[in-house]
Amino acid sequence: MRVVAAIRRQPVLVLTLLVFATVLGLLWSGEDVIASWVATVYVGLVILHTAVDMVRDILRGHYGLDILAVVAMVSTLAVGEYVASLIIVLMLTGGEALESYAAARARAELTTLLERAPLVAHRIPDLQDADPGEPLVIDVPVDEVEPGDVLLVRPSEVVPVNGVLLDEEAVFDESSLTGESLPAQHVRGEQILSGAVNGTQAVRLRATSRAADSQYQHILRLVEQAEESKARTVRLADRFAVPFTAVSLTIGAVAWWLSGDPVRFAEVMVLATPCPLLIAAPVAFLGGTSRAARVGIIVKGGATLEGLARARSVAFDKTGTLSRGRPEVVRIDAVPGVDENELLRLAASAEQYSSHVLADGVMRAAEERGLELSPGREGEEEATDGVVAEVDGHTVVVGKLGFVRERDPNAYLSRLEPGETSVAVAVDDRFIGNLVLSDPLRDNAADTVRVLRELGIEDIAMLTGDNRITADYLATDAGIETVHAEVLPQDKVALVQAMPNRPVVMVGDGVNDAPVLATADVGIAMGARGSTAASEAADVVITRDDIGKVVQAIDIGRRTYSVALSAIWIGVVLSVGLMVVAAFGHIPAVAGALTQEVVDLTAILYALLALRPGTGHPEVLERATAVRRTVLAG
């Protein structure tokens, strides 16, 4: 069965091996004429197929390296070196097979997510509606799960959809989602993301989303995009195509001219076969993509890794990116005559319609005070500005001061301490007060900025819609000198486009960051709690809530690009050196073909180094997990 599978995967390679063995057998038995005809016909068919593909590429404006392979095969056949020509074909088909193997190994980390995708969910029916003979647990296709369904997740099973934990406590392996190797402990009422692996005890969840809208399916779509994206590696190799072809043909022509022997040209061309250029770079970039996925960084294609490697500027959003993204209400400034709890309750009821991180802080504050929220009606969020909803028969507006002033020009901003921000609230077009929130800087944000500067990033800026006082305070703590505060999404786009040192990397997490993430040379979305829109628009998605991963992404990009270039140069230098030796007649055609196989293998094996971890800058990456490790250990 393995032999049949191998034939199906690489039929051309298997056929080439059979023809090669046949030719050697005929030569051994003295049937030289038949051997030459068999080899000539087979190599001729390969030349025809390769030449057709080459012409198609040229017509599309793509000048690749196939011309050298065609010239090498034609020249060896022309001088009667048909064994060498067969070795060239074997080298080309074997190189493609090796590329497939290396690519499969490099892609293993990405396909792991796809292979583990849950297909079935165990639904616990409502006992009041259940038929008498209906089993306690019903297996249903995961696509049929609806929000509100109670699901059973058995030990070691993958959570099929996002849900809220109904049991007292549970432990999940979330490494495929966040890159965190330690198990995550959760208690009743906490959100559990699809894709997490349950621990040793069966647990119950109440589904909060359909499968298509769950975190795991979202990551799967990003992985599929990463696999389908055409890497820029081909263009990277093509930068060497024209000069390498010119040098190879020149060496071969000079050798022919000086020696007067066309065989010398064929011997040089055998060593000019460009397998290292065609294979080594794609293998390196696939390895870098796999390495990134292993640590919770999804990269959408090789061109993105190249952009990370060459990055010279980085711009950060503030809330949820440089800050922790879990703002807390520290003060309620109600106008005279308005009850603080009522102001908070109305605001939190309206904020149920908002996806902004500040809304989460307002609702958590109401929950902590034991306030019962009203369901609200006709809620509508104005992106980046605020939310409007009907609560208990009143129109409640919550958001930026300017947004509320459109209803009540008398609205005012509360006095803010450094690091604080405020949310204005109006009811029935009357300003009733502000909610003051504080969102502290992430523990490793300053270290992240410092290491980025050490990596040679020239410009680091903060772009935020928040007020100037808070933005300046947090930027100072983070070590960022360039601050653009109180900006709209379109302003962020213009500011990133105007940054002089390119490529520019933009890091954000919210819906309002989606336009600028799509505009930047490389957009990085903090996808652990960020919006789907931001993740879809970004080129890189960090699935762990850790700003230090930005450093790791750039580090992986630089290492991968360096390995790809080095692998290409190894192949080029070895090939050119051997061509010079062959030009003086010291390497026969057959020996040259076999030697070129060693060059190919050397370049490809070096390219696989992209799978290995780089420096990682542990001082940045470990700061974010130190507190969590202490809690788990305790």
Alpha-carbon dihedral sign for residues 459, 356, 113, 237: negative
With beta carbons less than 8 A apart as the criterion, state whether 251 and 579 touch. yes
Beta-carbon count within 10 A of 626 CB: 11
Q: Which amino acid is at 114?
A: L
Strands of the sheet with 377-382, listed across from one edge: 328-334, 430-438, 420-427, 394-399, 386-391, 377-382
Q: Running DSSP on this structure, what letter comes out for residue 165?
A: E
Identify any residues that bridge with 540 across adjacent strands, giving them in sequence order: 299, 524
Q: How many residues does the chain have?
A: 634
Sheet hosting strand 138-141, strand order edge to edge: 138-141, 120-124, 150-153, 203-207, 163-165, 191-192
Largest separation between any pair of C-alpha atoms in the chain? 110
Give CA–CA dist 387/407, Å, rounded.
Answer: 13
Only one residue has tokens 């507190």, namely 627
Enclosing H/E stretch for 388: strand 386-391
Question: Tokens representing 152?
Answer: 């059973």
CB 498 within 8 A of CB 479: no
Torsion region of 488: left, alpha or beta (phi above 0 gives left; psi -120 to 50 gives alpha): beta
DSSP assigned state of 144: G
CA atoms of 273 and 275, how far apart (whole Å): 6
Give the helix ranges, DSSP H, for 128-214: 175-178
Q: Which of 317, 333, 513, 539 is catalytic?
A: 317
Let me know: does 491 contact 472? Beta carbons within 8 Å. Answer: no
Q: How many CB atoms lie within 10 A of CB 186?
A: 18
DSSP state of 158: B
| 391 vs 350: CA distance, rounded Å | 7
| Known catalytic membership, residue 545 | no
Instruction: Using the structure block, give the residue that is written with the tokens 């799960």.
Output: 145
In angstroms, the CA 411 to CA 212 distance is 42
Q: Torsions phi, psi of 61, nearest 5?
A: 85, 15
Using alpha carbons, select from 280, 234, 287 the residue that is nearest to residue 107: 287
Active site residues: 317
